[in-house]
Amino acid sequence: MTSATTPAASRPLPVAVRRGYGLGSVATGSFGTVPGLLLLPYLTDHLGVPAAAAGVIVFAPKAWDVVLNPVAGRISDASTNPAGRRRPFLIRAGLLLAAAFALLFLGPSAPQWLAAGWVAVAYLACATAYSFFQVPYVAMPAEITDDYDERTRLMTWRVAILALAILVSGGLSPAIRDAFGPDWGYRAVGFFVAALIAVGAFGAWHTTRSAPVRVGVTASASFADQLRVIRSDRRFRLLLSTFVLQALATGAMLAGVDYVARWVIGTPISSSLLFVCFVAPALVVMPLWQRVGTARGKKAGYVAASVLLGGGALLLVLLRTLPDAAVYGCVALVGIGYAGAQMFPLAMLADVASRSAETRTRVGLYTGVWTAGETLGLALGPALYAGVLALGGYVSSSGPTVAQPDSAVTAIALGFSLVPAVLVGVSLLVLRHFPSPGSMYSEDTGDSPIHRPEKGETAR
């Protein structure tokens, strides 16, 4: 890390640091997208695992992260590595994640119990490594800048690169699978995504080496005491609850893409087209969302993005009767909302976690709890979708494609549309209680105002 005599918050971050930090989203976007997109179909339609059991396999390793993420945050808070408190985790955990992901689709296809067990163990290894990458990565913005608008700019780069990573990984993975066939296709996807993860982890670690970081003091309270403090932080609870509900919604939609493409639209490239329509708008609208946040405030921008996210999903209730072009248009509307619904809460999290000297000693724990909630939502999304498929009577198969009953096709459509729309609607009811920037102090909650730069805080 480079030395500096002025506070990290007193000057804008170099553009290279903003871009470099965003490269970490290549790893998070790839890992967050491809398992949600292809792991459930891999289990149900390649290995023949029943839908309900497949949902458990997809969910269980992520549930482990709910426990592990706060621990990872605490460990990174206590780090005294001379290369930086958080940065060393990026390269170590990132490369381990890449290696574990390469193994995910390399297991046997029979007997079924052994194939399913391989996936469960490999996915658990992925989830563990991801925890120690994601938590320090998300914690970094609260430590490298104190500026309210600078964090929005930082998140703009991160979410724009995240969108590109999702577009590349999610758009190409189904095509790679189909090009190589079911046996070798999934294995090729594993190596492809592992390479993306490794590139993203190395890029974020290497290019943020010059980022200024405030000298922080590790919290002296016990881990349990700090969790109690975070639970008592009403502002954090409201923001986290909103984000988790929306992660659950997007996780369910992501899990449904491959099923909708095959059973509702039915064209060979529809899976990739749906994914492009979902992600590509973010590459265009991110600067617009940044302007909305600067002009109207982050909460107002988050509300607007959530309305578009939920509204687009609600329109898809008519999925089985809409022309294909209308379906793609509705998915694009969801994608526009998704872009803002990723950027704004992450920028707001950095504000909440570093608003005072006291909360800044627990930045890693805050982000550990945050990523635990995000992981839970994204894991429950596919599990929820699998439950909807099971209720609809979806027929799993390890051989040739089998016909599905009409109830299963209805379940495929509703799990992709109505279920996410309801979840986003509930999240908006929670978000409305989050305080606006002009009224961030509340005596009845004990919250402190958003932190502004203080004299004597120096970067190293």
pLDDT level of residue 223 (50, 70, 90 thresholds): low
Over residues 219-238, the mean pLDDT reads 68
| Nearest of 109, 111, 137 to residue 32 by alpha carbon | 137
pLDDT above 70 as % of the chain? 81
Structure tokens at 196: 């993306």
- Contact assessment for residue 349 and residue 161, using Cβ atoms and an 8 Å cutoff: no
pLDDT score, position 191:
95
* Residue 450 pLDDT > 70: no
- The CA distance from 420 to 250, in Å, is 7
- Contact assessment for residue 200 and residue 30, using Cβ atoms and an 8 Å cutoff: yes
- Could you tell me the pTM of the whole model? 0.69
Instruction: Classify 28 as helix, strand or coil.
Output: helix
Count the helices and strands in the chain (H runs, E runs). Answer: 16, 0
Q: Which pLDDT tens digit goes with each residue over 121-156?
A: 999 999 899 989 988 888 787 677 676 667 677 777
Quick one: which H or E segment has residue 307? helix 298-315
3-state secondary structure string across 252-296: HHHHHHHHHHHHHHCCCCHHHHHHHHHHHHHHHHHHHHHHHHHHH
Structural domains of the chain ordered from first start: 16-211+223-439 (1.20.1250.20)
pLDDT score, position 364:
66
pLDDT score, position 316:
93
* Residue 443 pLDDT > 50: no
pLDDT score, position 285:
87
pLDDT score, position 310:
95
pLDDT level of residue 354 (50, 70, 90 thresholds): low
pLDDT above 90 as % of the chain? 27
pLDDT score, position 333:
94
Q: Which pLDDT tens digit goes with each residue over 197-212?
A: 999 999 888 887 776 6
Q: Which pLDDT tens digit goes with each residue over 81-108?
A: 666 667 788 899 999 999 999 999 998 8
- The CA distance from 159 to 32, in Å, is 13
Mean pLDDT of the chain: 80
Instruction: Classify 416 as helix, strand or coil.
Output: helix
List phi, psi (to 5°) of 64.
-60, -40
pLDDT level of residue 161 (50, 70, 90 thresholds): confident
pLDDT score, position 359:
52
Structure tokens at 394: 């979806």
* Most confident region among 206-210, 228-232, 332-336, 447-451 by mean pLDDT: 332-336
* Residue 458 pLDDT > 90: no
Q: Which residues pair with 459 in a beta bridge?
A: 214
* Most confident region among 109-113, 231-235, 376-380, 422-426 by mean pLDDT: 422-426
- Contact assessment for residue 392 and residue 412, using Cβ atoms and an 8 Å cutoff: yes
Amino acid of residue 220: S
pLDDT level of residue 49 (50, 70, 90 thresholds): confident
pLDDT level of residue 2 (50, 70, 90 thresholds): very low
* Residue 190 pLDDT > 90: yes
| Nearest of 390, 321, 366 to residue 140 by alpha carbon | 366
Q: Which pLDDT tens digit goes with each residue over 280-321?
A: 887 788 888 888 888 888 899 999 999 999 999 999 999 888
Q: Which pLDDT tens digit goes with each residue over 373-384?
A: 887 787 788 889
pLDDT score, position 446:
42
pLDDT score, position 21:
85
